[in-house]
Structure 1
């Protein structure tokens, strides 16, 4: 089985597993993960953050986006512009978001300006699953792989503890993320670190 076939099989497994998680667990884990992220010194020290807008199957990042905006941080979120290609667009309010082509909340390109990757202090990324070392399995579009290939700032991956896996199929273009944050632990380069 090729790495791509392994990834496809794992995606199917993880989507099935995620669909079986209780709404209560999803809500509570999202709340704890967001609270932990807001307590990270790296978040508190950041001026510009890039954060995904969580879908129903991902961590609900609205508390992060709201807190960052209320704290006077510059906030940018992804705008998918072509298959595998996304831009970072600055928002001033959650009202700047509307459902895009795939039903994912995206910024209005007419109102939200482009932010250069080099301006981002902290990037908050999603995954279907990952391991403690920050190897992530995404949805397969390659959007975040391309972002990570030229981004050199701080990066944290949000993942529910129940979706962590030991083995993630890796290809040469897969970049590890230094921090993995779950509802119970922050892993830095694979090692459990401080929380709160």
Structure 2
């Protein structure tokens, strides 16, 4: 299990507060140990979610750097017969999608990302997902998620809303990143659940 780090969070809608909090969270994440074990525990906890147990298509992502590891979870979902969609970053920071075909079907892309090499399905492909696994830096007791600030997943969530799609929204974090409150802006969307290596916390029905 990873070591704990404490992050102090004050509520605010000020973007500068978000930036300061992101720096603090990234520093705390850099100090964590035991990430391989944490990735295995994260996969085990996520696979117990009813929303994933009954899903035929899941939109996910490949973890990089100090993010909670997702590779074990991706492989387990694929072994179940789930169609796993992975993002491909577009020049305007929007996301295209392609099917995960295993580790051999991933290639290093810009910004240190690992992306699928298969046929692109278009940005709207995410609307077919039964569940969307979201990266982030923190989530609070209301289910409000703090992302990295690039805006890619804000576009994804807006696209889902326009399409009337209502997949389960699940953010993957370390246990210490579930906090009392994070800053929010009008475009921010709550998630339905957070999965950490310690287990699952739900915020509302999917």
TM-score normalised by structure 1 residue count: 0.88
Aligned-partner SS, 1:82: coil
Uncovered stretches (5+) of structure 1, i.e. residues with no partner: 192-196
Aligned-partner SS, 2:85: strand
1:12 aligned to 2:23?
Answer: yes
Q: Distance in 2 between matches of 1:2 and 1:123?
A: 25
TM-aligned CA deviation for residue 165 of structure 1: 1.9
- Cα separation, partners in 2 of 1:12 and 1:190, compared to 1, 3 Å: farther
Partner of 1:114: 121
Coordinate RMSD, CA, aligned: 1.8
**Would the aligned equivalents of 2:46 and 2:200 in 1 still touch at CA under 8 Å?**
no
Partner of 2:199: 185
**Would the aligned equivalents of 2:13 and 2:184 in 1 still touch at CA under 8 Å?**
no
Q: Distance in 2 between matches of 1:133 and 1:34?
A: 23
Partner of 1:157: 171
Partner of 2:7: none
Uncovered stretches (5+) of structure 2, i.e. residues with no partner: 1-11, 161-165
Aligned length: 187
Alignment of 1:115-130 (within 5 A): 116-130=125-139
**Would the aligned equivalents of 1:134 and 1:157 in 2 still touch at CA under 8 Å?**
no
More strand by share: 1
CA offsets per residue over residues 43-100 of structure 1, 9 Å max, x none? 1110011111111211111111111222221111010012331112112222111111
